[in-house]
Amino acid sequence: MILLHTTRVRRRRLGVAAAAAGLLATMLAAGPAAAVPDPGDATVRESISASESAETRSAIRDGEIPGVDEVVHSDNIEHVTNIPKAALTGTNSDLAFQGRYAFAGNYDGFVIYDISNPERPKTVSQVLCPGSQNDITVSGDLLFLSTDSSRSDNSCNSTSQPATEKSSWEGMKIFDISDKKNPKYVAAVETACGSHTHTLVPERRNVYVYVSSYSPNAAFPDCQPPHDGISVIKVPRKSPEKSAIVNFPVLFPGEGPDGGGNPGSPTNPGVSKTTGCHDITVLPSKDLAAGACMGDGILFDIEDPEHPRVIDRVQDNVNFAFWHSASFNQKANKVVFTDELGGGGAATCNAEIGPNRGADGIYDIAGKGDKRKLVFRSYFKIPRHQAATENCVAHNGSLIPVKGRDIMVQAWYQGGVSVWDFTDSSKPKEIAYFERGPLTTDRLSGGGSWSAYYYNGYIYSNDMAKGFDVLKISDRRTDAGAKVRMHELNVQTQPDYFDDFDD
């Protein structure tokens, strides 16, 4: 049995005493919060009540939580190294991998790291190209970057401009990364409502890009309601300048100005209205995709990548506020959906919120073909309560490729990095963790791990505030994963770990 050295009994009290005066008492007065999607889109409250601040300092003194910036972890996790943010000072976001390189998104652009020696990663290049949230993927010589903020044009020198202006631009940017030291911007495709995230469906000659975006407004010329689908972009590998939108499949057909997705409040108080998708994960080897779409979770068939087709759709109007992301297990008979309660800018990992909100939802896939259904089994949330000054909620993670077990590493913002086992869908359990103490004790400030992914034997975490972390887990339950060597990894394009790669 691995020892997890935290004082859990005491931690479970965090958030109770100050709840009436705190952010969450207001946010959850009538049930789960209406999520404000993602830190870049939310205004993070910069002050907390005196009682919340006192509770945080007391918890640090009593050893219930780590001190400010203190690093703690389970005995089976090693903190190998950290590279602080340098030229790009914006919020760190997602990660992608190819060969000996890691690609790290940042609201100011992206960074390429050489991780051939994971214990001593080196910065290869930093590209300034502002535009939240700069969700990032790679395929061959191409790098893809999402822009989900209204800009004056599609260049990397653009400035902010209101979405009410017809000339404003949001969408996908494409770079040539054949020279990692000198990436070249080669193409752009404007998409309705921008590109909050995107997902690749690679083929030999082309790459299809599923663009997720949302929150239309009648006052926005390029983001009109109903926005009830996704943009599909076709990118010719040899001629990326010819990239173009080839379809906009409607995933939530229905009458009315908002389509047929979850109506949210007031019908379902505290649940986000579905006006598009937040993130999609594809499993090309099984022709499957899972979509986390604000107020809905969906399963669809992507045998024809230009025309994805919905198989099943589920809602959780009790505990899920904002369906944020999705992950398949290796056998493709389960999906883990995450709920980003509070939009990533709130302290939701405490006793007041409890274990079922701001958590993962584990669903089995039952049946075959078009009769497959998503069947809810359980929730998982990290068992270590965080302070009122720490934004914490379920966020981006990936499988650790171990045959016969379903094990995932996952980011939880200031809740840190968690490794957990969901082989038994009804009884998930944490087996390892890494975290830092709060950034501050006197205000709620955004930070922590945005993405935590397993790649070729190591865990890589992109911390919003602290930079690029490398971790190593040593545990008999996960050690076999280090034998699986991948040539490329975009987590939202899940590989078949034991067929696509050598093990």
Task: Please report the domains of the chain, with CATH numbers, ordered by start residue.
Answer: 8-489 (2.130.10.10)
Q: Which residue has the tokens 């016969």?
A: 404
What pLDDT score does 31 carry?
26
What pLDDT score does 18 carry?
40
What pLDDT score does 46 carry?
53
The rounded Cα 260 to chain-centroid distance in angstroms is 25
Average pLDDT over residues 160-178: 97
pLDDT-based confidence at residue 38 (cuts at 50, 70, 90): very low
pLDDT in tens, 204-254: 999 999 999 999 999 999 999 999 999 999 999 999 999 999 999 999 998
Return the SS3 of 338: strand
Minimum mean pLDDT among 125-134, 257-266, 316-325: which range? 257-266
What pLDDT score does 410 carry?
98
Nearest residue to 447 via CA among 482, 401, 399, 395: 395
For residue 369, pLDDT over 80 is answered with yes
Enclosing H/E stretch for 286: none
Burial of 117 (0-12, 13-18, 19+ CB in 10 A): exposed
What pLDDT score does 48 carry?
82
pLDDT in tens, 441-464: 999 989 999 999 999 999 999 999
Question: How far is residue 477's CA from residue 61's CA, in Å, rounded to a whole number?
Answer: 34
Question: How far is residue 438's CA from residue 392's CA, in Å, rounded to a whole number?
Answer: 10
Q: Contact, 396 vs 410, CB < 8 A? A: yes
Which residues are paired to 125 by β-bridges? 112
Question: How far is residue 499's CA from residue 58's CA, in Å, rounded to a whole number?
Answer: 51
Which residues are paired to 399 by β-bridges? 408
For residue 257, pLDDT over 80 is answered with no
Burial of 375 (0-12, 13-18, 19+ CB in 10 A): middle
Minimum mean pLDDT among 8-12, 272-276, 389-393: which range? 8-12
Percent pLDDT > 70 in the chain is 90
Give buried/exposed letters for 2-37 (b at 16+ CB in 10 A, else e). Answer: eebebeeeebbebbebbbeebbbeebbeebbbbbbb
pLDDT in tens, 47-101: 688 998 999 999 999 999 999 999 999 999 999 999 999 999 999 999 999 999 9
What pLDDT score does 325 carry?
98
For residue 296, pLDDT over 80 is answered with yes
End-to-end Cα spacing for the chain: 27
Q: Contact, 100 vs 46, CB < 8 A? A: no
Question: How far is residue 265's CA from residue 104's CA, in Å, rounded to a whole number?
Answer: 36
